[in-house]
Structure 1
Amino acid sequence: MEKKQNQRPQQSWLNWNTFFWVMLLLLIINSFVYPKFGQPTVKDTDYATFISYVDHGKVNKVVVKDDIIYFTVGKEQFKTVEVDDPQLSDRLLKAKSPNKSGRIEFTKTLPQKNSPLLDFIIWWILPALIFFGLWQWGAKRMMKGGAGGGGFLSLGKSGAKVYAERDVKTTFADVAGQDEAKETLKEIVDFLHNPKKYTRLGAKLPKGALLVGPPGTGKTLIARAVAGEAHVPFFSISGSAFVQMFVGMGAAKVRDLFQQAQQKAPCIIFIDEIDAIGKSRDQAMGNDEREQTLNQLLTEMDGFDATKGLVILAATNRPETLDKALLRPGRFDRRIIMELPDLEGRKAILQVHLKDVKHSDIDLDKVGRATAGSSGADIANIVNEAALRAVRLNKNEIDTDDLLESVETVIAGEQKKGAVISPEEKRIISYHEIGHAMVAACQSHSAPVEKITIVPRTSGALGYTMQVDAGEKHLMSKEEMLNRIATLTGGRAAEEVMCHTVTTGASNDIEKATQLAREMITIYGMSDKYGMMQLEEVRNRYLGGNTSLTCSAETARDIDKEVARIIHEAHEKATRIITEHKAEMDAATAILLKKETITGEEFMKVLEDNSPEPVAE
């Protein structure tokens, strides 16, 4: 939102133009409507009726104009279409009339032609003047319209949303889970507040800072917080806004953005998704418009004076695609990594969002561990889902159970309470889920089982086993990964051993086990055959991590064999564990069929009560 003093001239100019065009429209309407004012109503009739009136001596006056016959009968006026009647003139001359003269007044009006000069003015000069006026109006709108213009009239304008310093209410207190990023950006804020503190030693304000991280980690939020802490105007624009159909328009938007920013300096420019215009320039895949826009951005970043307090913040999920010239020092001097929050970060984010809802005492540690791998946006969604659940249950405040259930809702979807599952399928699903839990419990270096359920979810899951690590883990050993693969194969192994069948319920387990085994070989160097050799390249690490093989076709075939061997060995291990614990499997499955959902503590109690000896691998 721009300042009022910047909007007044534009608004008064728009009011004058509105008045001008309204007056012109009224004049045009008046030219068509006014000549008809005060004229009597003319009724339509047919030619036979007209002749009948003439023969009966009722017609006073006849006027033929533009192939239309106008005639009066008493005080009424009629009109009819002229037909090819050679005897009409003689009939009118001989007919009687109620006039004093006793004869019908008969005239014919010849069509009048405009002079050539008037036709030239009407058909050539007037349209040209109207077109010129519209063009002038559009040109002035483009020059004076500001960032809020729309349509073709805003071509060349940046289109950035401008927030005055008083309009940015976000501060660093609203950002949690990104302490390192906040510390880095606090220095920029301090520089804007106390420039002499740094310039006395010759230090310069960083021209730009690039915020890099997965979606939902708060890149846009922390950029607004910088502006809110610095109390300066905030320009926000998406990189896609610079992409235009016409070559050169994106560069014009960049020029206009920096021109506006320099007029309001000190201020902050935030370009979200900068990879839309900042992709590496490639001759094989060139794009004239995008490259011109990027070149203009590079030029503007070199041209402005950093001592005026103009800072550029940009965000991207794909830093590997950005042009090298954009990332060099002097343009984006700092790269700020915003990873997914750790356990303490998730707890801090929960506290921030819980301020906006009524809640009881929340076990932040338990909820924080259950939300491992979640971003700040995910946690905000979980808190909102918990509030909605509390409303549905007519609670006065949300509690820990609401949050934990919301975690499952976000991950697996809502419960399908109306789903009808046959007893036999329910039995197979129960053994499948207990099989996962049994293999996990009978292995070392495996995350504890938190919950087992066979309640179907809207995501398609007919049940699931939730494992939650006791603490935050940053590394995973080879043994832990192999145990994880064995746990994933535990569901299929339970179907084979306990139900003597195999079902489609293991499809997601197979997908995850295959992916994990492949990553062990191609990315993490955990293969005895290939060792520390990169066989796969990770791309778009912050957007799911797509991979592509960097090896020959022969090696790719060997990788498939290695993956199959790892999964086969894990499956044999899971089958052996379940075979050795059939009694515990039956007991735990019976309880799960009865209750549909059991906790990890309940499962471990059943396992201990029915085990003849301490559970060991």
Structure 2
Amino acid sequence: MPRIPGGRTFWIIVLSLLAVNYLSVAFFAPGKAKSVTIPYDAPSGAPGFLQQVAKGNVTKIKTQGASMEGVFKNDVKYPDDKADAVKNFETEIPSYEIYDSARLQSVLKAAKVDITAQPINDGRGFLTNLILGFGPVILLVFLFVWLSRRAAGGQMGAIGAFGRSKARRVEGNDQRVTFKDVAGIDEAKGELTEVVDFLKNPEKYQKLGGRIPRGVLLAGRPGTGKTLLARAVAGEAGVPFFSVSASEFVEAIVGIGASRVRDLFKQAKEAAPAIIFIDELDAIGRSRSAGNSFGGGNDEREQTLNQILTEMDGFETGDTVIVLGATNRAEILDQALLRPGRFDRRVTVPPPDKDGRKKILEVHTRSLPLDSDVDLDDIAAISPGMVGADIANLANEAALLAARRGHTKVQRLDFTDSLEKIILGAPRGIILSDEEKRRTAYHEAGHAIVGMMTPGADPVRKVSIIPRTMSLGVTISSPDNERTNYDVDYLHGRIRVALGGRIAEELVYDSISAGAESDIQQLTGIARQMVGRWGMSQAIGPIAVIPSDSQGPLLPGVSEVSETTQQLIDTEVRRIVEEQYQIVTRLLTDHRDKLDSLTERLLEEETLDMDDAYNAAGVPIPRVAANEPSVA
């Protein structure tokens, strides 16, 4: 079946207009008088037309072809006395009377019947005739004009809709987030306080000739609070907040992104003072250099970027519109964006330290009923490396877990179990055989013993042989204090801890298994970075021969290396790992009793916390340690 043209709205309009036309006619027309159809000539006694003319009961008639209508002098009941009496009648003239019209005319003249050319029983007036005559025509003209305009503006209207900005606008009074809701990044808040003051009191700076930065770039890891910080700036200043993701500018049609940028800045200038927040700026702000584009440039992305550069250059001195951009990869942004006059101020949003994590926990636990055994300082200490989003998720998971367990308050165990679930994943419902379980226990005990017996290594926080996600067991190590730098001894210790599980299996079972896959990947990555990036190999020297994560092989500062150098890198990586392998083998051989003791306790309990693990191994519990968390 072919689709009926027009949409639902179109047919509603058509039917509505037809109904209006019908009701107008019904309202203004007085109506047609009731009439009866009688025979032209009837038997004797019946009220036929000729009989009524002979009686002198017909006053006037009108004919049109063979049809005739007329008016009785006195009302007539037809076909019998039970019918209603009517004054008007209609009849059909026989063909023989039409051909011999002289006889009919003589009869009508003798009865003094008026013959007229006007409709006798037409109740329509001038207005009714006008509506009936021109109403449908006017309706069709209206529909034609409407459809023509819609057809003419359809494509342009669609392009216009594409070209309008999709930014979400939040008025200053509706923005509930303030600096009180942002914790753990005090340095970043301090730098943005000046921006808030400018939006509140622009005259204080303008009268001295000062100009606030037109753009502020927030750079940091995902989840550190860049978007939250931008919303807090708008909430503190009480100004409209235009939020948009950079990817929303780009469409398949070239030029749409630039149009959206123009519309966004136009709206912001009309609402000034205002804030424009562009999230994930690297989606369109990536460097336009040839080194980063193997397949040529993207015309739409580059046009959008050029339009942003032009709009930011177009700010006048009195414009109180500030652009906040957020990115996880500030190093790949185009230099034209970062020059003074555009994004001329960069605010780094780092991961929080221990005190920062505690403050973030205080913010996200304000609405949680905490048990007396919950120590936020302790939870902050065992969650290094977590950013604001991770900590918010930890608090929420702890509250959900407490509810599932039927607790009236969130307990410390709920936090630690939630932390374990976030880092390691939920336990798997598989049952290991006794032999697999014992082998897994020796593997994890190997990691733990090496971590306990290696000077400067991170303290062991938990050891478990409960299967989770893709692992059969886990050993968690984390520092007491933050570490901002890595020395050679610490990195060697990380490699030793990673080797502990495989070597423990080899010592006990005289064979190896595939369970050390992730450990091998981890230690290989550390060794390669020591050799190729950090200059910790005398054979290679203090030169970079491996690109960093954010650099490609063709960027300046990282040149291609020869085949000989590649072989030398592999040789040095193998040397470092083999040296630590021999050290770990001697360590576990000398402390086999500690390995066996910890393994037996693991088989009994399956999960050991820090105190239980050190006591089971017979090793003193450390009080000071350093660096990032490690999972083996």
TM range (shorter): 0.7 to 0.9
> What percentage of aligned pairs have identical amino acids?
44
Deviation digits for residues 348-389 of structure 1 (CA, Å, limit 9, x no counterpart): 111110112221242222211221111111111111111111
Greater mean deviation of Cα atoms: 168-177 or 468-477: 468-477
- Letter of the 1:538 partner, please give it: S
TM-score when scaled to structure 2?
0.73
CA contact (8 A) 1:537 1:550 kept: no
CA contact (8 A) 1:138 1:153 kept: no
Q: Match of 2:547, SS?
A: strand
Aligned to 1:441: 452
1:347-496 equivalent positions in 2, closer than 5 A: 347-361=358-372, 362-416=374-428, 418-457=429-468, 459-496=469-506
Query: C-alpha distance in 1, partners of 2:334/2:532?
Result: 28
1:277 maps to which of 278, 284, 287? 284
1:24 maps to which of 4, 9, 14? 14
Query: C-alpha distance in 1, partners of 2:254/2:474?
Result: 53
Query: C-alpha distance in 2, partners of 1:467/1:231?
Result: 45
Against the structure 1 CA distance between its residues 315 and 517, is the aligned structure 2 distance closer, same or farther, given a 3 Å change threshold? Answer: same
Query: C-alpha distance in 2, partners of 1:241/1:540?
Result: 24
1:325 maps to which of 316, 336, 353? 336
Structure 1 portions without partners, runs of 5+: 1-16, 33-100, 102-120, 143-150, 542-546, 611-617
CA contact (8 A) 1:450 1:600 kept: yes
Aligned to 1:160: 167
Deviation digits for residues 577-607 of structure 1 (CA, Å, limit 9, x no counterpart): 1111111211111111011111222222233
Aligned to 2:201: 194
Deviation digits for residues 177-233 of structure 1 (CA, Å, limit 9, x no counterpart): 111110000111011222233234322111010011111111111000000000000
- Letter of the 2:148 partner, please give it: F
1:236-255 equivalent positions in 2, closer than 5 A: 236-255=243-262
Against the structure 1 CA distance between its residues 155 and 606, is the aligned structure 2 distance closer, same or farther, given a 3 Å change threshold? Answer: closer
Query: C-alpha distance in 1, partners of 2:332/2:412?
Result: 42
Determine whether 1:132 maps to 2:139: no
CA contact (8 A) 1:250 1:290 kept: yes
TM-score when scaled to structure 1?
0.75
Q: CA deviation at 1:548?
A: 8.3
2:235 maps to which of 228, 231, 252? 228
- Letter of the 2:390 partner, please give it: D
Against the structure 1 CA distance between its residues 330 and 367, is the aligned structure 2 distance closer, same or farther, given a 3 Å change threshold? Answer: same
Against the structure 1 CA distance between its residues 563 and 28, is the aligned structure 2 distance closer, same or farther, given a 3 Å change threshold? Answer: farther
Q: CA deviation at 1:128?
A: 6.3
Against the structure 1 CA distance between its residues 173 and 550, is the aligned structure 2 distance closer, same or farther, given a 3 Å change threshold? Answer: farther
Query: C-alpha distance in 1, partners of 2:619/2:194?
Result: 59
Q: CA deviation at 1:420?
A: 0.6
Determine whether 1:561 maps to 2:571: yes
Greater mean deviation of Cα atoms: 394-403 or 179-188: 394-403
Against the structure 1 CA distance between its residues 505 and 294, is the aligned structure 2 distance closer, same or farther, given a 3 Å change threshold? Answer: same
1:520-539 equivalent positions in 2, closer than 5 A: 520-539=530-549
Q: Match of 2:172, SS?
A: coil
Query: C-alpha distance in 1, partners of 2:578/2:20?
Result: 90
Deviation digits for residues 304-359 of structure 1 (CA, Å, limit 9, x no counterpart): 22433110001111222211111100001101111211111111111110112221
Greater mean deviation of Cα atoms: 125-134 or 553-562: 125-134
Against the structure 1 CA distance between its residues 586 and 495, is the aligned structure 2 distance closer, same or farther, given a 3 Å change threshold? Answer: same
Aligned to 1:288: 299
Deviation digits for residues 376-434 of structure 1 (CA, Å, limit 9, x no counterpart): 11111111111111011100111222111111101111122x32100001000001111
Query: C-alpha distance in 1, partners of 2:558/2:588?
Result: 36
CA contact (8 A) 1:430 1:593 kept: yes
Determine whether 1:570 maps to 2:570: no
Q: CA deviation at 1:153?
A: 5.6
Query: C-alpha distance in 1, partners of 2:298/2:474?
Result: 48
Q: Match of 1:367, SS?
A: helix
Structure 2 portions without partners, runs of 5+: 1-6, 23-93, 95-136, 552-556, 621-632
- Letter of the 1:523 partner, please give it: R
Count of residue correspondences: 492
Q: CA deviation at 1:518?
A: 0.7
Query: C-alpha distance in 1, partners of 2:276/2:190?
Result: 19
Q: Match of 2:277, SS?
A: strand
Which has the larger Rg?
2
2:345 maps to which of 314, 334, 337? 334
Greater mean deviation of Cα atoms: 512-521 or 320-329: 320-329
Q: Match of 1:537, SS?
A: coil
Aligned to 2:32: none
Deviation digits for residues 538-584 of structure 1 (CA, Å, limit 9, x no counterpart): 1338xxxxx98842222112111111111111111111111111112
Query: C-alpha distance in 2, partners of 1:560/1:28?
Result: 86
Deviation digits for residues 243-302 of structure 1 (CA, Å, limit 9, x no counterpart): 011111111111111111110000000011111221222466212221111111111101
- Letter of the 1:397 partner, please give it: K
